[in-house]
Structure 1
């Protein structure tokens, strides 16, 4: 589990960056400007990053489930959110109270941190 957590860290940083880039699109005058999704190249890059993150989750999940079967399903839920984005409902990137990419990832991260007995800020 500790080895998976170590490998999870860099992927987690990329997920945080992708989530931020989905929500914000800095300009020269507004570094915290909201992403109004009017730049298809920007959004396509973020979605490509999320797709790669999903592929990495597909590799991480079996390593987790080999130790604890309760980690089963995170990849399917993440992939399901990506499918909904592909189908045109972009709210599934960061939607709350639903199995969005961000929500599923946050739950996985919390589960992993709790399993290892780590403090949230330390991971």
Structure 2
């Protein structure tokens, strides 16, 4: 059964590269997965390669996915992607337009200043993806 042009398959891919990511191991990992499961629990989300692959293969339909990671900035970023994608895209476009060496280093240094505490969740997510 093929997909029509009006109903393209929903493909989701990681939007972050992550050290220790599982993207290159997907086929090996999936060969070990059970064919049926209830809900999906991901304790080491990182770039989300396994989650996005499960989603793209339709294996999460009707299931809940519990995504977690020890990195609070990463989890904040996923929440902003989920809840406020339009504003995030606008902010990232602004980063792209302002990108230069000075802008990059200023953005990188933000978490070392007291100003970091005043950034909104959206601003922190923008910074996280930009860097």
TM-score, normalised with respect to structure 1: 0.28
Higher relative contact order (CA 8 A, sep 6+): 2
Q: Which has the higher helix share?
A: 1
Greater Rg, structure 1 or structure 2? 2
TM-score, normalised with respect to structure 2: 0.27
